[in-house]
Chains A and B, each alone.
Chain A
Amino acid sequence: MKHLAGAVIAALMGSAAMAADPGVTDTEIRIGDVNIMTGPASFIGRAVSIGSKIAADEINAAGGVNGRKITIVTEDDGYIPARSFQALTKLLEVDEIFALNGTSGTANVLAMMPLIEENNLPTIVSTAPNELVYDPVRPSVFTLGASYSDAFYAQLKYIHENTQPENPVYGLIRQDDDFGLAVEHGYERAVKDFGVKDGGIVRFKKGTSNFAAEMIQMRAAGVNVLANGGIISGAANILSEARKLGMPLESAQVWSEDMPLSVNLAAQAGYDYYVGDYVALTGDDYDAFVEKAKQYVTADDIAAMNRYTLVTYAALHAMAEAMGQCGQDLTRACTVENLRKLKDFEVGGIMAPISFDNDKQLSGTAIAVYQLDAASKTFTRKTDFADY
């Protein structure tokens, strides 16, 4: 009779476990990843995917999360918000993921937000740390990364304090979207704080490739410190126009310009430009990460790695830490609670320690400023990670 009662209790407990949040079994935790796997920006999605793979393989090799192996389920959204919504619906309904660790671009994650909130889905946003994502704060959403505003402010501060160009005139060229708006906030703050001359702000439509008129305007204004709000080919074309016009420039860029593909394009203009980033681009910690990555991914994948690989790797480790603290009774609510308590979580020095124990559930805001050597296409770190 005692055995029977025990068996019934065990069965009930078992069924309770079965009835727990989706995506968790005794042996597996399924983590979703909605990403840009096709189209011109697919190199970002692939880098993200590689970061998740390295982290998952490393965690699994060390025994998993309390014995459960992490499985990554990736869905492509092609950088189209409506498809992001569709992709997350599929991950939730068909693949039954437990949490989300890849969220594509800003508009994409915002399109997924209603689903994330409805399902109390533990989510770390690491590729689009836009203010719109963490303001207002959504209970289950955690953001990893600095604001574009701070990234530009940090670079302009470094330029102002260290390079001291003659008769400095600052200027901004930026996209006419949410990203551009964030860049403008950083620029305006810098101009105000440093009391420097503002040569003006020029907006351009996302996707513009010819910046001749914009850069002539900048030259006419005497701009010699440029906040370059272009992305990848856009940023490269802006620098290329500046070079054609013979403009002496100290140029601040968004962090996408430290990716190998961007560097190959932009370095041709010959400017030793700056980037502000919240991940390590050089140094012993970065080298150690690459060595570790070689154990888990192919040489092709190593070649395809970029900053997004590092930040996604860090995010999955933070997620695993929060899940691990739940013990065997792993639920979404518990994971969210533990993410909220996460403080000074070390990720091998590839970015500042992660702490989500703040009002915005935001971490990784510390930025380091790097400078490119256009000739060798390598970066040198100019500042330590610091909050601005």
Chain B
Amino acid sequence: MRTGHFQETTGQLIALTDSPAVIGWTGVLIAGLLAAPLVVGNYELTLMVTVLIAVVGAVGLNLLTGTTGLISLGQAGFLAVGAYGNAVLMVDYGWPVWLSLPAGGVVSALISLLVGIPSLRLKGLYLAITTLAFSFIVSHVILYAEPITHGPNGIFVNGAKILGVNVQKGPALYYLTLFVAVCVVLMVLNMQRTRLGRGWLAIRDHDIAARAMGIDLTRYKLLAFVVSSFIVGIAGGLLSLQIRFINIDVFGLILSIEALAIIILGGMGSVAGAIMGAVFLTLLPEAIRIAFNLILTPGSAFYSTYVYEIRGVAYGAVIVAFLRFKPDGLIGLWRDARKYWSNWPLAY
């Protein structure tokens, strides 16, 4: 009988997984995701694209906040920079999307240095407020740099093609987003196994102790900002491809709050948690809508008058209840479930 899970070498410790079951189930999940466009409708596919974009954004934020412990409320700003970077390069300068999309991420990463450098001595709420202020600065710049950003009029993002295929709708957009999401997840999982990743964790747990151990806080924190913003910028680019129109209203403060909620609900510091949080929070409104449609009669006076606000309250209530009863997030729930079945029938 299996009594525990022991790793005896550094190689085993930093391996992505040593479990054949995990490898097998991941393969099944990837196969299922690849086959999804064959079995689901356009609306479900659109939802899946939204989930995948949220996954990319959440994994990026998780790297900064969950792994390095630097709280950011400026994700809407980085998302906007990435989206505008992609849109401007693609629409106004005619760059192909396979170049403009990563370039949007690079622009976001470079801009992050502007907020990263003055924020090096800050942490906790002070850093959160600084990044929030950055988000406001971004929205001002977008509105006033009209020759570049088209100001309040926004930009229609059309004509993204890869190998002659329109990648802004249907299965093509889905596969592009899935490809990016898988790349980002693998990249972050691998980074976390390196000296850099362990350094970020050390900074999160105790920055003074980390410095005493020889970790260059300035470099590591800036790298966290740059890598996180690059990923979030890519998510912004994907968002611009999906909705095909961007202006400053698309990147409201609520996006930053939702991004933070995703990684808290998923379980801070865990890539799997960020993915679970993104899936859960993106699909929660849809689940609530379906549940309400089963309970109430669409078209009734009560339904048309109050159902939307009640759905909003239910959305908030589910999140609050979750954090109250499962503060370590979805990943905690998952770990508990796994532990329960591993130890079954002796689980307690």
Contacts and interface: CB of A to CB of B under 8 A. Distances in A.
B305 A76 contact: no
A3 interface: no
B158 interface: yes
B152 A178 contact: yes
A86 B42 CA distance: 11
Instruction: Describe A's contact surface by its main secondary structure.
Output: helix
Interface in B38-64: 41-43, 46-47, 50
B152 A177 contact: yes
B308 A107 contact: no
A105 B304 contact: no
Interface stretch (B13-21, B243-251, B323-331): B243-251
A114 B159 CA distance: 12
Category for how many chain A residues contact B: 35 or more
A153 B11 CA distance: 73
A373 interface: no
Instruction: Describe B's contact surface by its main secondary structure.
Output: helix
A81 B250 contact: yes
B109 to A, nearest CB: 23
Given A38-B309, A90-B43, A176-B143, A114 B244 contact: yes
Nearest to A131: B153
Nearest to B303: A74
Contact of A110 (B151, B247, B248): B247
A179 B298 CA distance: 34
A107 B247 contact: yes
A89 B43 contact: yes
A317 interface: no
B156 A114 contact: yes
A132 B153 contact: yes
Contacts of B242: 85
Contacts of B41: 93-94
B250 A82 contact: yes
A71 interface: yes
Interface string B134-158: 0010011001100000011110101
Given A42-B309, A86-B50, A93-B42, A71 B299 contact: yes
Nearest to A36: B308
B37 interface: no
A301 interface: yes
Interface in A91-118: 92-94, 105, 107-108, 110-111, 113-114
Nearest to A71: B299
B311 interface: yes
B318 interface: no
Interface string B22-41: 00000000000000000001
A300 interface: yes
Contact of A180 (B43, B152, B311): B152
Given A85-B242, A177-B152, 10 more contacts: A80-B250, A80-B254, A89-B42, A89-B43, A90-B43, A93-B41, A93-B42, A107-B247, A132-B153, A178-B152
| Top 8 closest pairs, chain A to chain B, by CB | A37-B308, A93-B43, A107-B249, A178-B152, A114-B244, A177-B152, A85-B243, A38-B312
27 contacts: A39-B312, A46-B305, A53-B304, A80-B252, A81-B243, A81-B245, A81-B247, A81-B249, A81-B250, A89-B46, A92-B42, A107-B249, A108-B249, A110-B245, A111-B243, A111-B244, A111-B245, A114-B245, A176-B140, A176-B152, A177-B143, A178-B154, A178-B247, A181-B151, A181-B153, A298-B301, A300-B305
